Amino acid sequence: PPNFVPGTWLTKKHFEVLKINKSKFLLPKEEKLTAWVLKTHKYTFLWAKSENGQFQANYIDQVIFPTVKHVPWQEWNIPVLPTLMEDVIKVLHAKVATGTFKCSHTVPPLTEHILENFRSRGCYGLL
């Protein structure tokens, strides 16, 4: 690909703002190729809100995306037999006092976040 030559749409200032190879990950040829692609597809990028356009209504019908109203999830208590209730409460208080259990209302981690701990083993996620 040719060297980057600033144009009317993709100026030198705009190109520098993009910081194409900030981490020095790309090879020089790849950096040139990226600059060439950006310049070739110059009208794909907006530099100001005023440059944002819309399709004309007589060409494309308006699209309405159906949505489902969000219902927040609720945390339900785990059912415990009434005869075991006192024992369970004692065990839970003891675990909290020793620091084994900590109060948490967070969602369990995604499988992708813990895969490093299970290298070369099967690991499945639950929803």
* Helix ranges restricted to H, 5-125: 12-18, 28-40, 85-98, 111-114
35 within a domain of the structure (yes/no): yes
CA 124 to CA 112: how far, in whole Å?
10
Task: Count how many domains the chain has.
Answer: 2
In percent, the amount of the chain with pLDDT more than 90 equals 11
User: What is the C-alpha to C-alpha distance for residues 29 and 19, in angstroms, rounded to an integer?
Assistant: 16
CA 42 to chain centre: 26
Report the predicted TM-score, pTM, of the whole model to 2 decimal places.
0.39
If pLDDT is split at 50, 70 and 90, which confidence band does 127 have? very low
Is 63 inside any structural domain? no
Q: What's the domain range around 112? A: 82-118
At residue 103, the 3 state secondary structure works out as coil
pLDDT, tens only, 66-96: 888 888 777 777 788 999 999 999 998 898 8
Question: Is residue 103 assigned to a domain?
Answer: yes
Tell me which amino acid residue 82 is: P
96: CB partners within 8 A, 6+ apart: 102, 103
* Amino acid (1-letter code) at residue 48: A
**Is residue 55 assigned to a domain?**
no
Give a yes or no: residue 108 inside a domain. Answer: yes
Of 27, 28, 24, which is closest to residue 4 (Cα–Cα)? Answer: 28
Question: What mean pLDDT, rounded, does the chain reach?
Answer: 80
